[in-house]
Amino acid sequence: MVLMVLLGLLVGIIVLSKLKSSHLARLAPGASYAHAVSNATSAPPAKTSLQSTAASSQGDPPQAMTSTPSCGGILRGPEGSFSSPNYPAPYPPNILCTWHIQGVQGTVIQLQVETLDIENSISCLYDRLEIYSKQDPASLSDGTSRFCGQEAPATINTNSSWVQVTFVSYGITTASGFTALYRAIAPSEKNCSWDEFLCDGGRCLLPASVCDGLYHCTDRSDESNCSAKHHDCGGTLTSLEGQFSSPNHPHQYPNLQLCHWHISVPVGHVIDLQFHNFSLEPQKDCIFDFVEVFDSAGMGRGNVMGRFCGSEIPPVLTSSQHVMTVLFVADEGMVDDGFYATYRAHNATEKTCGPFEFTCRNGECQALELVCDGWHDCPDGSDEYNCTDIAYPSIESPCEPIAIEMCLDLSYNATSFPNIWLTIADQEGAAEVLQDYQVLEGLACYPYLRALICSLVVPKCTPDGGILQLCRSVCLEAERHCQQSLGRLGIPWPLNCNVLPDSDNPVECFTP
């Protein structure tokens, strides 16, 4: 199964590339703030004041910063190290430090940020580490990069013998800061750490950026040979009994996972799901890493049987029909050992209840006085079938009409939110994401691009209120028609279509 969460980055990649002359800085849904990077094509800043380091952001914080004599300076020599003031103790507030790293002519600077603990913020607007190296006309990966949070970036191989590093802090919220190493090396000696991926041109990627469905390397090598990484992450299970687990179980699952298993057994059967091992990142509302189980073929909000995280093993869950869906989500933060689960199908008509109990269609037992009382006590609602003179509460359909003008007149007209693939809460949030795509309306391939983007951002709603993934063929068609047009704008096609399901089964994916 694929990392559909990261498909939201497609929005930022295309729009930022198309509008980079206006320095648009919109962060895509689901993007991580712990490692926010922006490319710049301008010349090095002429001064190191607060105004020059923060002027490009909207809503700039108060500019009350002064240079600190104990930090910054000129670093020469083949290699060296530097750190934030007071490291590993907390760095002071309201400081601005600038280091100029100068190698001999003919060498390039390699920079490794070994540790990073800087106050986190959207787009690294407040406390941040900025790295600037002279722009390479053949690459979009050099320029100014911003970092904050607790995740150190991958090794940075520049194309210049000169690098400027600036550290900025605001206010009173501080952390331990950073440590960094630099080396002046020959261009042919570019390399990465042992656990990083080396792209063409010497760009290094963290493991989470490899096989994530997006092209980070110019030669697309980071998205080749990815079948092993996503093996056994989701799929369709049709046997009367079976098992499945989180990726890498019993070892730790990777970051940024989104897998769903569709369990379908013969009609007339119900499914018992049991978790044997369970250890996910704990959180009160289970909004980071979690397993969610649905009593349906889709993922409608009205069919949620439970959402689970932490280390407490969930209860045995029994479906009301012959289908069940299990969703596993992992974000970019903490990881754990994951889970191992088994399921077994049994005949729904097997009667095991007592003489004064009602047998639900899924085999559960309920007291007779609960039958036809106006409330669904059986998971499938069978205790309320064939009842008369009962005033049932009205149930609002989880599907809603598409209200976004850009996405009208497709083959479907109903959607459902939240969009679990891109973590978009509602149509208002989707409209905000889509508004920037109007600038691409003049492209001849826009109809194909519109179908692709709308289907990702405003997905199709299933009758039970779930949402469907887009079929791979739609993405491939958009790539075939749009890759050349976007290339003329200097925008490489960013999405690996192979991460989308390739199926003719309408339960697994759809075409707009």
Higher pLDDT, 331 or 183: 183
Model confidence at 157: pLDDT above 60:
yes
Token couple for 116 = 């990073």
- Rounded CA-CA distance 21/137 in Å is 15
Nearest Cα to Cα of residue 49 among 36, 65, 61? 65
Burial status of residue 62 (CB atoms within 10 A of its CB: 0-12, 13-18, 19 or more): exposed
Could you give the residue ranges of the DSSP H alpha helices within 393-471? 427-434, 446-457
Can you tell me the mean pLDDT for 100-108?
92
Ramachandran region of residue 209, left (φ > 0), alpha (ψ -120 to 50) or beta? alpha
Nearest Cα to Cα of residue 452 among 400, 410, 395, 394? 410
- Rounded CA-CA distance 418/304 in Å is 14
SS (H, E, C) 344-385: EEEECCCCCCCCCEEECCCCCEEEHHHCCCCCCCCCCCHHHC
Can you tell me the mean pLDDT for 260-283?
90
- Rounded CA-CA distance 471/469 in Å is 7
- Rounded CA-CA distance 294/326 in Å is 6
Task: Determine the pLDDT at residue 506.
Answer: 77
Token couple for 412 = 């479907």
Q: Could you give the percent of the chain with pLDDT greater than 70?
A: 76
CA angle 52, 435, 407 (to 5 degrees): 160
Return all residues near 212 (Cβ < 8 A) that are at least 6 apart. Answer: 3, 6, 256
Task: Determine the pLDDT at residue 491.
Answer: 74
From residue 116, alpha-carbon distances to 33, 88, 178, 371 in Å are 13, 10, 5, 60
CA angle 499, 503, 509 (to 5 degrees): 75
Give the CA diameter of the chain. Answer: 91
Task: Determine the pLDDT at residue 424.
Answer: 80
- Rounded CA-CA distance 306/506 in Å is 25
SS3 16: helix
Q: Could you give the percent of the chain with pLDDT greater than 90?
A: 21
Tabulate helix, strand, coil % of the chain (nearest 5). Answer: 20, 30, 55
Task: Determine the pLDDT at residue 349.
Answer: 66
- Rounded CA-CA distance 247/211 in Å is 14
Higher pLDDT, 13 or 307: 307
Can you tell me the mean pLDDT for 372-387?
74
pLDDT digits (tens, 9 = 90+) for 403-439: 988 888 888 888 888 776 677 888 888 888 887 777 7
From residue 450, alpha-carbon distances to 270, 416, 477, 481, 485 in Å are 40, 19, 12, 12, 14
Q: If pLDDT is split at 50, 70 and 90, which confidence band does 398 have?
A: confident
From residue 201, alpha-carbon distances to 102, 136, 157, 304 in Å are 21, 11, 9, 47
Return all residues near 501 (Cβ < 8 A) that are at least 6 apart. Answer: 469, 471, 472, 508, 509
pLDDT digits (tens, 9 = 90+) for 308-356: 999 999 998 988 888 999 999 888 778 889 999 999 998 876 656 777 7
Task: Determine the pLDDT at residue 331.
Answer: 80
Task: Determine the pLDDT at residue 298.
Answer: 67
Q: If pLDDT is split at 50, 70 and 90, which confidence band does 283 have?
A: confident
Bridge partners, residue 365, by sequence = 359
> CA 160, 16, 61, 63: dihedral to nearest 10 degrees?
40
Please provide the average confidence, as pLDDT, over all residues in the chain: 76
Model confidence at 284: pLDDT above 70:
yes
Contact between 439 and 15 (Cβ < 8 Å) = yes
Model confidence at 371: pLDDT above 50:
yes
Own/partner pairs for 22-25, CB < 8 Å, 24+ apart? 23/56, 24/436, 25/56, 25/57, 25/58, 25/123
What pTM did the predictor assign?
Answer: 0.43
Return all residues near 253 (Cβ < 8 A) that are at least 6 apart. Answer: 246, 247, 330, 335, 336, 337, 338
Model confidence at 185: pLDDT above 80:
yes
Q: If pLDDT is split at 50, 70 and 90, which confidence band does 111 have?
A: very high
